[in-house]
Amino acid sequence: MPTGTTDSPLRSRCRKAAGRPASAYRQEGRRCFSTVFTAGKHTENEAYERVWGSAPLERNKMSQLKIMFIGAHPDDIEVSCAGTAIKFAQKGHIVQILSATNGQSGHHEIMGQKLVDIRTKEAQESQKRMGIHSYVILDNNDAYLTADIHSRERMIKAIRDFAPNIIITHRLNDYHPDHRITAQLVQDCSYLVRVPNFLPGTPIPDVMPVIFYMNDHFMKPTPLDPEIVVDIDDVADAKLNALDAHTSQVYQWLPWISGNLHKVPTDPKERIEFLRNAFGTRWANTANRFRSKLIEKYGNERGSKIKYAEAFEASEYGGYHDIEVEKKLFTFD
Ligand SMILES: [Zn+2]
């Protein structure tokens, strides 16, 4: 199979056979896959292994999965989808947050290594509060991230080191260049992660991770179209508590750049309420935006009352998705 492309010949064949666009292939991948390989000489399991290096999640029969949340900055995951990270950790899965940059640009008064040290300590505190396995910060400067070969090598090494079953990251359209570049780097690694001659010497994982995009509010060129929604009401306080650990961001930098620094309270309890107002609105918007999906998943009575939610869209890159299995995985009660 050629390297340097994320679209394998088998995938192309599969799409042609189904006569559908890539998005339809992603949603109905199982039928498409079966058509091609039933017609050929491979069993379905062999086909999965030939193309992706592993069977899909349900075939792994793994009770403990490794889930890697990749954000551009220390705090991005906490802002967007820490509720799901906390829930996975509570369920006994191994959760890692990876920040693609060190956070050294996002402050109006502190800079350089001093800020990197602060961000690292805050991330460690956030990790502790969330009860997740690890929090890794790559040595790339905040706001200077590019999708060059060095960044790709760092990203692929981090992915290979952790060997996740699932990666959750930004989409390619986002307001911050680091968010876009992080998404690009993950996409660039999604095939190369199992190519031994790229960055030889780092162990190749057995599993090709499936990739999901975390929620955002950007509409062009396409809005998020999630297959998976998660009720996070029961962990909203824990999510706020994780955000509260990022003092230099949520009580200093972000209020400063949005002109709200004078509104930040000093009392710890009032600070949590300040965060609830600032970030809870976003999580409520996600719940309202995807209300019909919440009702579909949780039923009318519960689904119509959920206040805060997180949402995830399957990427067509990386491992093969079995959405019905993954919907169950993202169900925590
Ligand atoms: Zn960010």
pLDDT 10s digits, 180-236: 999 999 999 999 999 999 999 999 998 899 999 999 999 999 999 999 999 999 999
Distance 235 CA to ligand 1 centre (A): 22
| Residues above pLDDT 90, as percent of the chain | 78
Decide if pLDDT at 16 tops 50. Answer: no
d(CA 97, CA 100): 10
Distance 23 CA to ligand 1 centre (A): 27
> Is residue 244 within 8 Å of 275, Cβ to Cβ?
yes
Distance 179 CA to ligand 1 centre (A): 6
Spans of all domains in the chain: 9-52, 62-329
Distance 79 CA to ligand 1 centre (A): 9
Kindly provide the residue ranges of all beta strands, DSSP E only, lying in the chain, ordered along the sequence: 66-71, 94-99, 134-137, 166-169, 210-214, 228-231, 309-318
What pLDDT shows up at residue 64?
Answer: 84
What architecture (CATH level 2) is domain 62-329?
3-Layer(aba) Sandwich (3.40)
Distance 71 CA to ligand 1 centre (A): 7
Q: DSSP assignment, residue 263? A: G
Distance 73 CA to ligand 1 centre (A): 5
User: What confidence tier does 5 reach under pLDDT thresholds 50, 70, 90?
Assistant: very low
Decide if pLDDT at 59 tops 90. Answer: no
DSSP string, 117-140: HHHHHHHHHHHHHHT-SEEEE-S-
Distance 319 CA to ligand 1 centre (A): 25
User: What confidence tier does 100 reach under pLDDT thresholds 50, 70, 90?
Assistant: very high
What pLDDT shows up at residue 27?
Answer: 43
Decide if pLDDT at 299 tops 90. Answer: yes
User: What confidence tier does 46 reach under pLDDT thresholds 50, 70, 90?
Assistant: low
Distance 279 CA to ligand 1 centre (A): 14
